[in-house]
Structure 1
Amino acid sequence: MIGLPSLKSYGTSRKAIAIALLASTFLVLPPRFSFAADEGQVSVIAVPAERKPISKAMEFVGRIDAPEKVVIRARVKGVLEGVLFREGDTVQTGAPLYRIEKSLFDADVQQAEGTLERTQAELALATIQRQRAEELLKRNAGTAVAFDQAVAQEAQAKAATVSAAASLDTAKINLGYTDITAPITGRIGMTAVSKGNLVGPETGELTSIVSQDPMYVTFPVSQRDITAAQKAGKTSDPKSIKLRIRFSDGTLYDQIGQISFLDVSVDRSTDTLIVRGNIANPGRSLVDGQLVKVELEAGAPEERVVVPQSALIADQQGVYVFIVEDGKAAVRRLKTEGNSGANSVVSSGLEGGELVITDGFQSLRPGVAVRPSPAPALNTGG
């Protein structure tokens, strides 16, 4: 008779069976890829430190000004019959902008024409009477008093004719003012009045026009900076110094300007000189009144190491970056000398070619293994 296994031996058997099944499962499953090499690596974005020709430049804050600005006002009083432009458009010289009701001004012209014709007729009669009085005086049939009176009447008629002609000219000029046209070519602003309103000289500004290309950029410069720029550029003529414009977002304007004017006196309160430059604006990127950064080129470009500004880290000891060295993060202390667009110019600390970490360094420590990836390409559209 075969006896039943004890409870202890039964439990041991179940454990052995489970271990055997687990072992067989690992033998059946396909092998997994080992990630032992990636354990502890930190993913980062890195770009090479580049060597580029960089021009030494002095930077100032400037403002864009349109060379031509015109405020449009009504020169005669009347009801506005039409606004003949679209706000924000570019208008050409002579383009119609506003039209004022003409009927009263037409009537003034006709009245002045009638007055002129009457005075011309009176002048013709006065001339005939003066000639007749002169003939009678020569034949001793008339008196000197009558001749003098005829001469005076002719002179009065001439004066009245001149006055009437001037009144006619004035009436025609006022009639012409009912058509308000653009005095310059440029971009037109918002209209302050609409059709049906009564306008006149007391109404004030109706709209304004500013020229678009080229544009001025004005900025204050100390006399010391002007002298330094002249020495660096090896020129005694400040107007030969080139300038570039950088927008508030750091992007560089694609046109190069030139200094065109230096003020005749220094501001005593700031010890600065107002400088003005001319710069082309073919794409209408520059807007009147816009605040920009102005960079004056000072000397020939020199090769410098540049790194993205996003890679710079500051602490109490100064500025540093993380670089990838033998697959690990390493620290390089830097000295910088200004910016060039989105990059910082490095004077010492890097030689160029080092892989500089620009993103993902927030939790890095020197010696930590890293897995660098290149920066994603910018989508420029198109």
Structure 2
Amino acid sequence: MYQFFPKPVDQAERNIDPQPETGPLARRLSRRAKGGIAAVSLGVLALVGIKGFGGQEAKADAPPIPTVTVSAPLQRSIVEWDDYVGRFEASQSVEIRPRVSGQLQAIHFRDGDIVQKGQLLFTIDQRPFLASLNEARARAASAQTQLALARSELARASRLVDDDAVSQEEVDTLRAAARSAEAGVAAANAVIRQRALDVEFTQVRAPVTGRISDRRVDIGNLVSANESMLTTVLALDPIYFSFDGSEALYLKSLREKQAGKAPDQQAEIRLQDEAGYSWKGRVDFTDNAINPGSGTMRGRAVVSNPDYFLAPGMFGNMRLSAAGTRDALLIPDAAVQTDQTRKVVYVVGKDGSVAVRPVEIGPLVNGLRSVRSGLGANDKVVISGVQFAQPGSKVATRPGKVVPPAQAGPAASFSAPAASQATLATR
């Protein structure tokens, strides 16, 4: 047999309403009530833990002040340059053509030689021209004889005119004949000089000093006066460097001349395989009009080329001194920030607050960015930790030093927005 024993009743159940609601819903509400009581208890405990003995709430620790590296700009004298691209051209280019027709007899040079002005290059058969010269000399001798006879007859007639043995009309006729004979002698002498020139032209000589091209006609061929191309000679010392500059650079040069700031336009040129600008020259010509198609102005520099190393057609980069030597402030290029359409740098005041300075920047100089305006020589520029510098915020600073990237380590190259480039001035 089974026996039933009454369930023990604890103290909490004794305090329950003697007529509680029964059923599943009542049991679920009871469990939720217990959970709410537990949550309230935990919240009270948390509030008690947050409260201190003084009754004040505990505050979170403030973030540390960021630290940035600052330095005054580097002060140096620099020379700004404008960059141009161009090619070398011969200072003189001559096409060698014969001035008389005939058979080519001899060639007196090797293809590609350096020839001197007046050097014999080609010889054309002289025999026909020598024969013509001898004929002209014979005609001149005949004209000289006729002149002598005319003068003799005029002298006799002049003596007889006083005795009325010869009329004045005959004397005038003899005088005209003598003058005609004099003109005949002069014409004959002119023909002699012409024939002598033809003989001289059978020897084709170099009109300028320079490098000669290859022969275009071989020995034995007939050449035509002023038509047949024999070869070409290019004068290479000095040599020209022809370049095109933009209208903006041309206007800049004009403004500097008006202000009296433009120095003598010294040019420095480097070839494709050269790292430095080893060729020196000067600008001696600027064209009289801007090319309407390209919007550029053509210019020319004269470069000394004593060893004929430079050849026409070579490509080169030229830099032209923009405005002479000037003092500039240099800072790392990474310290320059872009704020919409302007360039700015961050400077730190004596109280540690960060301020923004709009600046006008120039070209790179040995890896450092030159600043034309907007920055003072004693300003403390943020050169490292720029990302932590916010306008109006406080920062801690540590001293730094502006050095070119070549001394501090490798750095990327940046293109200059204003002048093409700049170098430190040599004193």
Q: Report TM bin, short chain.
A: 0.5 to 0.7
Correspondence for 2:82? 58
What is the one-letter code of the residue matched to 2:293? S
Q: By how many angstroms is 1:355 displaced? A: 4.2
What is the one-letter code of the residue matched to 1:247? L
* TM value normalised by structure 2: 0.57
* CA 285–55 in structure 1, closer or farther in 2 if over 3 Å, else same: farther
1:167 aligns to 2:191 (yes or no): yes
Identity %: 27
Q: By how many angstroms is 1:143 displaced? A: 2.0
1:70 aligns to 2:70 (yes or no): no
* CA 193–266 in structure 1, closer or farther in 2 if over 3 Å, else same: same
1:300 aligns to 2:332 (yes or no): no
Write the distance in 2 (CA, Å) between the matches of 1:271 and 1:112. Answer: 60
SS in structure 1 at match of 2:325:
coil
What is the one-letter code of the residue matched to 2:190? A
* CA 167–243 in structure 1, closer or farther in 2 if over 3 Å, else same: same
Q: By how many angstroms is 1:55 displaced? A: 4.7
Alignment partner of 1:128 out of 132, 137, 152: 152
Q: By how many angstroms is 1:194 displaced? A: 1.3
SS in structure 1 at match of 2:154:
helix
Correspondence for 2:106? 82
What is the one-letter code of the residue matched to 2:138? G
Give 1:366-377 correspondences, 5 Å limit: none
SS in structure 2 at match of 1:257:
strand
Contact 2:270 2:278 in 1 (8 A): no
What is the one-letter code of the residue matched to 1:97? L
Correspondence for 1:33? none
* TM value normalised by structure 1: 0.63
Q: By how many angstroms is 1:337 displaced? A: 8.8
Alignment partner of 2:139 out of 105, 115, 118: 115
Cα distance per residue 1:275-322 (max 9 Å; x no partner): 11111123322212323222223343879799xxxxxxxxxxxxxxxx
- Which segment is superposed worse, 139-148 or 102-111? 139-148
What is the one-letter code of the residue matched to 2:119? A
SS in structure 2 at match of 1:114:
helix
Answer with 1 or 2: which has the greater Rg: 2
Write the distance in 1 (CA, Å) between the matches of 2:305 and 2:77. Answer: 26
Write the distance in 1 (CA, Å) between the matches of 2:280 and 2:177. Answer: 71
* CA 223–236 in structure 1, closer or farther in 2 if over 3 Å, else same: farther
SS in structure 1 at match of 2:164:
coil
Q: By how many angstroms is 1:273 displaced? A: 2.1
CA RMSD of aligned residues (A): 3.3
Correspondence for 1:290? 314
Write the distance in 1 (CA, Å) between the matches of 2:269 and 2:219. Answer: 41
Q: How many residues align?
A: 276
Correspondence for 2:238? 214
* CA 195–151 in structure 1, closer or farther in 2 if over 3 Å, else same: same
- Which segment is superposed worse, 133-142 or 114-123? 133-142
Write the distance in 2 (CA, Å) between the matches of 1:93 and 1:217. Answer: 23
Cα distance per residue 1:138-194 (max 9 Å; x no partner): 210112332232122212211111111110010001000011111111111111111
Contact 1:59 1:293 in 2 (8 A): yes
Q: By how many angstroms is 1:234 displaced? A: 10
Write the distance in 1 (CA, Å) between the matches of 2:100 and 2:263. Answer: 44
Give 1:170-181 correspondences, 5 Å limit: 170-181=194-205
Q: By how many angstroms is 1:251 displaced? A: 3.6
Q: By how many angstroms is 1:356 displaced? A: 3.8
* CA 84–151 in structure 1, closer or farther in 2 if over 3 Å, else same: same
Give 1:1-382 correspondences, 5 Å limit: 55-228=79-252, 236=260, 240-249=264-273, 251-298=275-322, 299-300=324-325, 345=367, 347=369, 352=405, 353-356=407-410
Q: Which residues of structure 2 form unaligned runs of 5+?
A: 1-75, 333-360, 370-382, 385-401, 413-427
Contact 1:238 1:259 in 2 (8 A): no
Contact 1:226 1:238 in 2 (8 A): no
* CA 247–125 in structure 1, closer or farther in 2 if over 3 Å, else same: same
Contact 2:270 2:279 in 1 (8 A): no
* CA 88–219 in structure 1, closer or farther in 2 if over 3 Å, else same: same
Q: By how many angstroms is 1:268 displaced? A: 3.3
Contact 1:69 1:210 in 2 (8 A): yes
SS in structure 2 at match of 1:270:
coil
Q: Which residues of structure 1 form unaligned runs of 5+?
A: 1-51, 307-335, 359-382
* CA 253–182 in structure 1, closer or farther in 2 if over 3 Å, else same: farther
* CA 203–179 in structure 1, closer or farther in 2 if over 3 Å, else same: same
SS in structure 2 at match of 1:154:
helix
